[in-house]
Amino acid sequence: MTMVFLFGALGVLALVSRTGCTDNTNGLNSDGVQELEYTDVDLGLTQRGPHFDVAYSRNVTALVGKTAQLNCRVHDLGNRTVSWIRHRDIHLLTSGRMTYTSDQRFISVHNPHTEDWILKIRFPQRRDSGIYECQVGTTPPIGHRMYLSVVEPLTTILGGPELFINMGSTINLTCVVQHSPEPPPAIRWTHNDEEINYDSPRGGVSVITEKGEMTTSHLLVQKARTPDSGRYTCAPANANPRSVLVHVLSGEHPAAMQHGGQLRLQYPLSAALLSVIVTLMGC
């Protein structure tokens, strides 16, 4: 048997020439020419070189003032260098573990036991939003772009900043948290800077919170009394607090009065549902 090897970029192709010892016609075609049999031989010579794992190199939404991290995972990096570039001004921020900007908020983080190269931005501001590119120093260079969105959650209390309530009616305060990358883990309500106790002897005080892209928290205070007047504050764990000043009045009817303690709701929890809950609580 005669074997000839041809080396190519993707492996080796073996050309095997058959000759028979007892049958000279074995391996001959119809013209009497010796046939060649081709076989792929895998010697593991195929190499992709550096490439990005886009599943672990994604866009990021971060909160104003809270450290943001852009992750870039590069497989088969070898001895190449990973750099981070800000597209807004084509500014080289980091190369390897070194920082090349006077803005010390930008830091390159890499654990030698991983394939992740992280651009850490401390105290991010809304102006830091934009495209950042993770670049590998091949020839020519290859890059993967990611978008950083720095947002500032917005907290509002419907009907504020001042509400007038009839004595004996239900105070219904609705706090809305928007533009947050994730729902607030907790929302605290306070009255005159003291956390509201929903199990206090006064009774009739409850809170209903619905979490989602837009989170709403409803504070219900039944049978409003004069001591219920004051400043109520909604304080989400991941957003700025917002306050409203409530006046419980007897016999007066300012234009801004919240009639019957009910606000016109434009958010997920309907006014009808709130009315049912208030009725059941009063039973």
pLDDT for 187 equals 94
The pLDDT of residue 201: 87
Residue 125 tokens read as 């501001």
Compute CA distances 254 → 5, 103, 232, 250, whole Å. 97, 53, 19, 11
259 has a pLDDT exceeding 70: no
For 226-232, what is the mean pLDDT?
A: 94
Of residues 88 and 180, more confidently modeled: 88
Strand duo 162-166 + 257-258: pairing: parallel
Res 31: pLDDT: 54
Amino acid at 274: L
Query: CA-to-CA distance for 37 and 20, rounded, in angstroms?
Result: 14
pLDDT digits (tens, 9 = 90+) for 196-210: 998 888 889 999 999
Q: Are the C-beta atoms of residues 238 and 185 closer than 8 Å to each other?
A: yes
Q: What is the mean pLDDT of the segment spanning 90-94? A: 96
Angle, vertex CA 91, rays to CA 87 and CA 93, nearest 5 = 105
Q: Does the pLDDT at position 39 exceed 50?
A: no
pLDDT at position 48 over 50: yes
Comparing 42-56, 124-138, 262-276, the range with the smallest average pLDDT is 262-276
DSSP labels, the chain: -EEEEEEETTEEEEEEE---SS-TTTTB-TTSPBPEEEEEE--S-----SEE-GGGS--EEEETTS-EEEEEEEES-TT--EEEEETTTTEEEEETTEE-SS-TTEEEEE-TTSSEEEEEESS--GGG-EEEEEEE--SS-EEEEEEEEEE--EEEETT-SEEEEETTS-EEEEEEEES-SS--S-EEEEETTEE--TTSTT--EEEEEE-SSSEEEEEEE-S--GGG-EEEEEEETTS--EEEEEEEESS---TTEEGGG-----SSS-HHHHHHHHHHHH-
HSE (side-chain half, CA atoms, 13 Å) at 203: 5
Mean pLDDT is lowest, of 57-66, 135-144, 267-276, for: 267-276
Q: What is the mean pLDDT of the chain?
A: 79
- What is the average per-residue pLDDT within 164-180? 92
Which of 86-95, 110-119, 240-249, 272-281 is the least confident region?
Answer: 272-281
pLDDT at 105: 96
pLDDT at 213: 85
Distance CA 159, CA 250 (A): 20
Residues in contact with 96: Cβ distance below 8 Å, sequence separation at least 6, in sequence order: 81, 82, 83, 108, 110
The predicted pLDDT at position 107 comes to 96
What pTM was estimated for this model as a whole?
0.57
What pLDDT sits at residue 180?
Answer: 82
Q: Which residues pair with 34 in a beta bridge?
A: 28
Q: Average pLDDT of 96-119?
A: 95
The residue among 124 and 45 whose pLDDT is bigger is 124
